[in-house]
Chains A and B, each alone.
Chain A
């Protein structure tokens, strides 16, 4: 190689692909609920556990879950983390708090943002509720729930949720 030539260390080959994702039957029912301001889960016909959001099957019993159950928007923070770096997927400035929330009547926690509360006051066992977007903005999307916020209820005991960690 002549000294005047630098090595080619990279070529740019942009890739553009479009995908039309299939939500699937269970998610479709859940998302239709979101559009109505409802949180819909599904109960396993064998073990009776309630999946929110539903996955269409009970992964333990390996059977379809077809019994629909509505749960309230209230729940308990089982664990959380404080994000202090910017996130590509969320349009929110750090620091902010993400938590596992066990909704009342559900049997597994799901991930959500906690707001309307200083980020460092979130704690395990804290009681929270869903805050929805205005009615006219409801749609078949997770984003119908803006975030969760604390409610004026005593913290749940560690014993009450330790099986969900």
Chain B
């Protein structure tokens, strides 16, 4: 495998509703910043790949106009996944592995505020048996949370602690949407949203965009003082039906982590794409991350969760910690689908 590293990362501030800018206007400054930061001239970047979703935008082919934002002239080698941008990063990483190109630009955008997100997400479900029943994303997460608490003996207090820690850590993240000091005991006094989940157990609805530049070997070393090397990366999907898998565990995360080489050494930090508090605990279990591992120093998805962006942002946040020299080995994780159906894990290392 070729050595490939994240050499730059930029993101828009996560906000509940971006009224001023449309998707192109949201993406353009982020892409410009990531490209500039990378030190690689835009026209020398070998491949561009993006992630977004038509149903968030409420119109077909919504990714097409975003091409305006990246300076696709002269024509560029380009592709798009209807998934979180983390999978666009994976596609770009694969392309670099083939050996014909040395760099790639990845971007993602999501403006969930334009529609009613829980209702939109219902359309992700089996259209014959499940979607017509209308279960929303929070209720399904609550089913999973109940299964997890019952299976492990963990408590709602453990969930509240995740929320409090995330939002405290988010105070130092300028892109975060929900930040502040919360007392877990007081959080437990709040009413249930969908039992056993309270509002603090759920991610905010966010508008956002993010971009990353990847570079291989010598180019990465040339343009970046401390590139964040992708030492291993893998992703796996599970059965769709919630009754067809053990919701208290994430087997696909465990398998992806194993294949990404997670077991070969200790990690300092992990950026986990866990939109709900209990999912962070499920992912920690699946990846075998002990208490010594700092999880989501950025605040994670509980502090800002732009759909199609939040997974890619985990890669960016994990890389940033390595590029800043504050850690030497990190885990980046992204998820897609209801109740952690699909998961990607990468092991990143500093120089």
Q: Do chains A and B touch in the complex (CB under 8 A)?
A: yes
Q: Is the CB of B114 within 8 A of A21?
A: yes
Chain B residues contacting A20 (CB-CB under 8 Å) are 113-115
Q: Which of A11, A57, A59 contacts B128 (CB 8 A)?
A: A11
Give 14 A-B pairs besides A21-B59, A55-B24, A56-B22 with Cβ atoms closer than 8 angstroms: A11-B132, A17-B119, A18-B116, A22-B111, A22-B114, A24-B20, A24-B23, A56-B25, A59-B68, A60-B73, A61-B71, A62-B32, A62-B69, A62-B71
How many of chain A's residues have a CB under 8 angstroms from any CB in B? 22
Chain A at the B interface: mostly helix, strand, loop or mixed? loop
> Which B residues have a C-beta under 8 Å from some C-beta of A?
18-25, 28, 32, 42, 55, 58-59, 65, 67-73, 111, 113-116, 119-120, 123, 127-128, 131-132
Q: Given A13-B132, A17-B58, are A22 and B21 neighbors across the interface (CB < 8 Å)?
A: yes
Q: Is the CB of B69 within 8 A of A57?
A: yes
CA A155 – CA B346 in complex, angstroms? Answer: 62
Chain B residues contacting A55 (CB-CB under 8 Å) are 24, 65, 68
Chain B residues contacting A26 (CB-CB under 8 Å) are 25
Q: Mark A44-87, 1 if CB is under 8 A from B, else 0.
A: 00000000000111011110100000000000000000000000
Q: Is the CB of A19 within 8 A of B28?
A: no
Q: Is the CB of B114 within 8 A of A19?
A: yes
Q: Is the CB of A17 within 8 A of B116?
A: yes
Say yes or no: is A15 at the interface (Cβ < 8 Å to chain B). Answer: yes
Chain A residues contacting B69 (CB-CB under 8 Å) are 57, 62
> Which A residues have a C-beta under 8 Å from some C-beta of B?
11, 13, 15, 17-27, 55-57, 59-62, 64
Q: Is the CB of B115 within 8 A of A22?
A: no
Q: Which of A19, A22, A27, A59 contacts B73 (CB 8 A)?
A: A59
Chain A residues contacting B114 (CB-CB under 8 Å) are 19-22
CA A56 – CA B85 in complex, angstroms? Answer: 24
Q: Is the CB of B71 within 8 A of A21?
A: no
Q: Is the CB of A27 within 8 A of B22?
A: yes
